[in-house]
Amino acid sequence: MQPTEIKIAYLGGGSRYWARDLFTELALSPRLAGRIDLYDVDLAAARRNVAIAEAIFDRPEAQSRFAVRAVPTLPAALREADFVLLSIEPGPIELRFADLEIPARHGVFQPVGDTTGPGGLLRALRAVPVFADFAAQIAEHCPRAWVINFTNPLTLCTAALAATAPQLRVFGCCHEVFHTQARLAELVARQFGAPPPDRREIDVDLGGLNHFTWITAARWKGQELLSLLRDELVAPGYFRSRTRAACGRKQEGRWFESDGLVSCDLFRRFGALGAAGDRHLAEFVPWYAGSEAELHRWGVVATPYAWRRHRARERDRSPQVFAGRPLRAGDEECVRMIAALVGHEPIDTNVNLPNAGQMPGLPAGHVVETNARFRHGAVTPIVAPELPAGVQALVRRAADVQALTLRAALTRDIDLAFQALLADPLVRLPTDRAWKMFSEMLAYVRGALAGWRLPAT
């Protein structure tokens, strides 16, 4: 059987790890073929990813053929694209200073700062207009393409696409739920004395917002898992301080590691399991990240700005790092989605889509994360479970902050953006001090906010 020919437009030269995983997964898909056009405002960054791609598709174990090139303009990348993949960094990495360090100086501590909180908000103000422009150009050059966003803040970048060009076929992808499934697979291993099953065997009822998703039921071979988890949580010491572990993680740079304690604390308090990394969950509520010490007590460490900047610079220096490694199938669901959409193996998986009924407590059109069916030419959302009333209150609040931020960013309205900032759970500064913080943040990224009427400094 001939492989299906597709054209992928890959926008953003950002993460080389993610680029590696994507190309690897494509290289291991014998039923797909075609070409990939990479575009980035920094052509050199796109070229670095071309080099990675070539190294991967040249591996002997590669099973598919894709022609990969960097193109100098966005329209060139988009033309005839069947799939548009969006993974950009909105502005130079140094702008993350404003997202992370300025709030910290005002006492607002953020473990990640790219999704919500003052940092997620400022990042959204930079990214949303870029995505609005992407939407307009996609609508012009490849209106029938599937548009897949990986950029954070995932909800708002995806929403910017959908709001600007509702006719496009847009969704957003994220791995965080997979990690929670993997944690449940380990629970299965502990409870049944067997090796952990594939995380895809863990069937979950879930719903919410990206990085603030909730699992209300989980099953493995007919076995209900959350009650087993509940039994584990009551063990004495389960919720003991993890400060020591967190300090070790910080020292060794294991930023993304945690014990899932925040996720489990939400579960014991609210009756649904937080289905994202603790570092994300902790940013949507005001209880865990009041300070670095508090965050450490829950075993979570913040990713420092300095490391982010360092990694970005290192990347620019050593593009060829992935050449020579044998290809190994990973957990990049995106390629399975593409395969299902062109008519290969169907899959059901979690994804971010405008609410068409799948998330009843939230407004129509708000981008929500639930399971969905991927079939030949169609993505159809699956109705999420009714979240417990307490969780609904938390989720609705986060959605309100997102809606204010989106509208502020689309209309370039600083006052509305500030209202969103005040409404964020991480902010409880007096309004005048919050305004001072916000003014400093805006001033720092001023160059990336073309067309805004910023406050005088």
267 lines the binding site for a copy of itself (CB under 8 A):
no
Q: Which of 63, 191, 349, 419 lies at the binding interface for a copy of itself (CB under 8 A)? A: 419
Of residues 175, 179, 211, 280, which has the active-site annotation?
A: 175
Candidate segments 8-16, 52-60, 189-197, 279-287, binder of a copy of itself by CB under 8 A: 279-287
Residues facing residue 169 across a β-bridge: 146
The least CB distance from residue 212 to a copy of itself, in Å, is 14
CA distance 311 to 320: 15
Give the list of residues 6+ apart from residue 75 with CB closer than 8 angstroms, or none. 137, 140, 141
Size of the site for a copy of itself (CB under 8 A): 67
Name the segment binding a copy of itself (CB under 8 A); options: 25-33, 97-105, 225-233, 263-271: 263-271
In the bound state with a copy of itself, the residue whose beta carbon lies nearer, of 41 and 382, is 382
Residue 330 CB, shortest distance to a copy of itself, in Å, is 25
User: Burial level of 369, CB count in 10 A (0-12/13-18/19+)?
Assistant: buried
205 binds a copy of itself (CB under 8 A): yes
Based on CB atoms, which residue is closest to a copy of itself, 190 or 376?
A: 376
Cα separation of 143 and 146, whole Å? 9
Complex with a copy of itself: residue 265 or 332, whichever CB lies closer: 265
Two tokens, residue 171: 């969704």
Pairing verdict, β 203-209 and 169-172: unpaired
* Contact status: 219 vs a copy of itself (CB under 8 A): yes
Does residue 11 sit in helix, strand or coil? Answer: strand
Complex with a copy of itself: residue 106 or 219, whichever CB lies closer: 219
Strand, coil or helix: what is 1? coil
Whole-angstrom CA distances from 137 to 12, 121, 164, 168 are: 15, 24, 11, 11
Cα distances from 147 to residues 348, 374, 386, in angstroms, run 18, 14, 28
Site string for a copy of itself, 131-150 (x = CB under 8 A): --------------------
**Is 280 marked active-site?**
no
Among 144, 190, 221, 254, binds a copy of itself (CB under 8 A): 221
Which of 44/383 has CB closer to a copy of itself?
A: 383
Is 389 a binding residue for a copy of itself by CB under 8 A? The answer is yes
Per DSSP, the residues of 93-155 read GGGHHHHHHHHHHTT---SS-SSSHHHHHHHHHHHHHHHHHHHHHHHHH-TTSEEEE-PSSHH
251 exposure class (CB count in 10 Å sphere: 0-12, 13-18, 19+) = exposed
Secondary structure of residue 43 in the 3-state scheme: helix
Question: Rounded to the nearest whole angstrom, what is the least distance from the CB of residue 334 to a copy of itself in the complex?
Answer: 20
Binding-site string for a copy of itself from residue 343 to residue 372, where x marks contact by CB under 8 A and - marks none: x----x-------xxxxx---x------x-
Catalytic residues, by residue number, are: 175
Q: Which residues bind a copy of itself (CB under 8 A)?
A: 203, 205, 217, 219, 221-222, 224, 239, 265, 269-271, 285-288, 290, 294, 297, 342-343, 348, 356-360, 364, 371, 373, 375-378, 380-384, 386, 389-390, 392-394, 396-397, 400-401, 403-404, 407, 415-416, 418-420, 422-423, 425, 427-432, 434
